[in-house]
């Protein structure tokens, strides 16, 4: 409300000679405009979101994303997001055994069918085809429910060094007749599609794998997402490179087919198996590497949900939601008049915050980030489980904004440590502590 009043009264210098009645009308109109903008604001726990997928359940929207044990967030209106506990307590033991060095769970997808939520997830390491897609089920997404429990169902599909594809980035789609399909893939020979048994929600034995998108040379394609609309199956994918902060070149591309197995073509009639796909959204001066999307078909409104790296915040991966509309030829385009998030992001530094390090657990190096809304003296220390100081990471004055510090743990032994921040400004003292896990 303070923001609304401030906006309205900032116009008083222009309105001094306007009659009192007219002034009140104009003030009301200004309040209405400001309220409309606030309704499109996206706030809360929207930073450090990578590879998001989304689903609506009851009165809430839920976002799942890459993290230590799969990050979970929810909102009632696509605007203010709250962080929930992570989906898993630990990486499934079967995955630890089969994927050497796995330390995080990547790129989930969420699907609902017959009173059950199906959470698909990826286990891999960078640059390797030794990868697995797993599955966990739940009957509710509400952590307060006594029925809430993710039950792991094990491996869905795998890839190994002898395969020319990579079994990560899963997405489940239903075709016109109710058959279910799993698309997946990253780099190598591209995007694959395989039919699922609707009983096990895993592939039928000996079922064929279809190739639906690929790029030659060094061109990367990954993160498929398929929807059915307007009589077509639309295949959204990400081209080029993620995970490089402001240097990320990710962009979201699309093609379509009248049959879920393809062939998919872009609006220029180029096959997606021949590098086709035209741009839905790509990075701009502020939002870099716009990719790994999901599409929410929510009644009459359609939304593109993805991550992007905020160049105004040192490249922090951030949840972005754009409204999709359809042109006269039934191709998806971004409705820039209804974009969710810019105003909220400009107000992201309203609190003193210490973020969870990323990645966590980590091997050698991890990023520790924090925000200060005002100039503040900041001290950040690393302690072992016995409370012994092992590293003084920061002890300086920082200006308002988000700040990132790279912590190198090469001198430490594997184990649990704690990062503590003390922030002092204008007589205010804020203390935060996060647990970090170092695995050599």
Rounded distance, CA 289 to CA 168, Å? 19
153 Cβ contact list (under 8 Å, min separation 6): 134, 135, 136, 137, 201, 202
Query: Does 51 qualify as catalytic in the annotation?
Result: yes
Q: Phi/psi of residue 289, each to 5°?
A: 60, 55
Quote the DSSP letter at residue 141.
S
Which residues are within 8 A (CB) of 322 and not within 5 positions of it... i.e. 6 or more apart?
Answer: 281, 303, 304, 306, 334, 335, 339, 340
Cβ-proximal residues to 265 (8 Å cutoff; 6+ apart), any chain: 255, 256, 257, 271, 272, 276
Could you give the CA distance from residue 167 to residue 99 in angstroms, rounded to a whole number?
12
Q: Three-class SS of residue 22?
A: helix
C-beta separation of 67 from 86 below 8 A: yes
- Kindly give the residue spans of alpha helices, DSSP state H, lying in 58-210: 93-98
> Which residue matches tokens 């400004």?
425
Q: In this structure, are residues 255 and 276 in contact, taking their beta carbons and an 8 Å threshold?
A: yes
Q: How many CB atoms lie within 10 A of CB 124?
A: 25
Which burial class, exposed, middle or buried, applies to 423 when counting CB atoms under 10 A from its CB (0-12, 13-18, 19+)? Answer: buried
Give, as one character, the DSSP assignment of residue 105.
Answer: B
- Residue position matching structure tokens 């303070």: 2
Active-site annotation holder among 51, 68, 195, 310: 51
Catalytic residue among 71, 169, 222, 240: 222
3-class SS at 37?
helix
Residue 83 is encoded by which pair of tokens? 């962080």
Number of H helices, E strands in the chain: 4, 28
CA pair distance 317, 250, nearest whole angstrom: 12
Q: Is 147 a catalytic residue?
A: no
Q: For residue 401, which of 371, 430, 432 has the smallest C-alpha distance?
A: 371
Give the tokens for residue 79.
């605007």
For residues 148 and 170, give the distance between their C-alpha atoms in angstroms, rounded to a whole number.
Answer: 23
Contact status, residue 382 vs residue 390, Cβ threshold 8 Å? yes
What amino acid positions are annotated as catalytic residues? Answer: 51, 222
């Amino acid at each position: 409300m303070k923001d609304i009043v401030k906006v309205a009264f900032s116009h008083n210098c222009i309105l001094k000679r306007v009659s009192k009645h007219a002034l009140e009308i104009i003030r009301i109109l200004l309040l209405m405009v400001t309220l409309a903008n606030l309704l499109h604001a996206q706030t809360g726990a929207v930073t450090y979101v990578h590879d998001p997928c989304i689903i609506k359940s009851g009165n809430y929207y839920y976002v799942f994303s890459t993290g230590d044990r799969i990050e979970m967030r929810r909102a009632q209106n696509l605007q203010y997001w709250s962080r929930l506990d992570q989906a898993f307590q630990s990486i499934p033991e079967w995955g630890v055994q089969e994927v050497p060095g796995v330390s995080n769970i990547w790129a989930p997808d969420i699907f609902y069918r017959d009173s059950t939520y199906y959470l698909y997830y990826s286990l891999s390491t960078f640059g390797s085809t030794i990868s697995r897609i797993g599955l966990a089920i739940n009957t509710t997404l509400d952590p307060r429910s006594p029925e809430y429990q993710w039950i792991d169902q094990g491996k869905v599909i795998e890839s190994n060094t002898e395969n020319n594809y990579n079994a990560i980035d899963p997405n489940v789609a239903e075709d016109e007749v109710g058959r279910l399909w799993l698309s997946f893939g990253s780099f190598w020979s591209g995007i694959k599609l395989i039919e699922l048994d609707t009983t096990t929600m895993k592939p039928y034995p000996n079922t064929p794998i279809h190739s639906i998108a690929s790029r030659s040379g060094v061109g990367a394609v990954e993160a498929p997402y398929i929807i059915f609309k307007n009589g077509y199956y639309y295949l959204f994918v990400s081209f080029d490179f993620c995970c490089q902060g402001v240097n990320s070149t990710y962009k979201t591309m699309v093609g379509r087919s009248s049959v879920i197995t393809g062939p998919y073509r872009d609006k220029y009639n180029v096959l997606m198996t021949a590098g086709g796909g035209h741009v839905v959204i790509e990075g701009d001066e502020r939002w870099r590497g716009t990719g790994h999307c999901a599409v929410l078909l929510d009644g009459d409104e359609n939304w593109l949900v993805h991550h992007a790296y905020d160049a105004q915040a040192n490249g922090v991966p951030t949840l972005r939601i754009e409204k999709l509309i359809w042109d006269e030829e039934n191709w998806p385009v971004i409705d820039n008049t209804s974009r969710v998030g810019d105003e909220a992001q400009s107000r992201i530094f309203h609190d003193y915050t210490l973020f969870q390090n990323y990645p966590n657990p980590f091997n050698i190096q991890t990023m520790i980030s924090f925000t200060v809304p005002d100039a503040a003296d900041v001290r950040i220390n690393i302690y072992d489980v016995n409370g012994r100081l092992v590293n003084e990471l920061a002890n300086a004055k920082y200006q308002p904004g988000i700040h990132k510090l790279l912590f190198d743990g090469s001198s430490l032994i594997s184990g649990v440590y704690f990062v503590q921040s003390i922030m002092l400004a204008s007589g205010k003292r804020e203390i935060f502590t996060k647990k970090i896990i170092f695995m050599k």
